[in-house]
Amino acid sequence: MAPVPVVDKGGIVDIILPVAAATGGSIMHEYALALDIMNTLREKYPEDIGRLTSISLTVGQFSGVVTDSLDFCLHMVLKDQKLPEVKVVIEEEEAMAECACGDRYPLTDLLQPCPRCGAYDRHLLSGKGIMIRSIEVEKEEISHGQ
Ligand SMILES: [Zn+2]
């Protein structure tokens, strides 16, 4: 169940939107992801997008996404979309794995076995996706004038 976003007129909009489970790692991939993020925001917040001041993202440790490339591509897309002033904050999400034996442990390396039973048979509970955590929008009263 997705959390219901709280849209405040000005200030922080708390949202958690999954963007994509990423794979690969070429600059084209990060560019596509940046477009995805902007499309997702435009779709969800069409009235707020023009007043956007900041975007906060979480990038999973094993998402295959290069944080610097995503940051670069997002700025490129924001510039193209006439939003060059928008701040981008990207945080890395640590990976948690769940083993077939039921043990849950933080995964720091894909070659790391389960600390309880030594198996490699596990799945990632976190750390593999990209999330838009929050956005900040400018208050309506503020005008940049001309
Ligand atoms: Zn285990």
Query: What are the pLDDT digits (tens) for 106-128?
Result: 999 889 999 999 999 999 899 98
Asked if 25 contacts 65 with a C-beta cutoff of 8 angstroms, the reply is: yes
- What is the CA(96)–ligand 1 centre distance, in A? 13
Question: Domain for residue 37, yes or no?
Answer: yes
The backbone torsions φ and ψ at residue 30, rounded to the nearest 5 degrees and listed phi first, read: -65, -35
Question: Domain for residue 116, yes or no?
Answer: no
Query: What are the pLDDT digits (tens) for 17-69?
Result: 666 545 554 567 888 889 999 999 999 999 889 999 999 999 998 888 889 99
What CATH number has the domain bearing residue 48?
Answer: 3.30.2320.50
Residues with CB under 5 A from ligand 1 (ion): 99, 101, 103, 114, 116-117, 119
In this prediction, residue 102 carries a pLDDT of 96
- What is the CA(118)–ligand 1 centre distance, in A? 6
Is the pLDDT at 5 greater than 90, yes or no?
no
Range of the domain at 73: 11-96+124-137
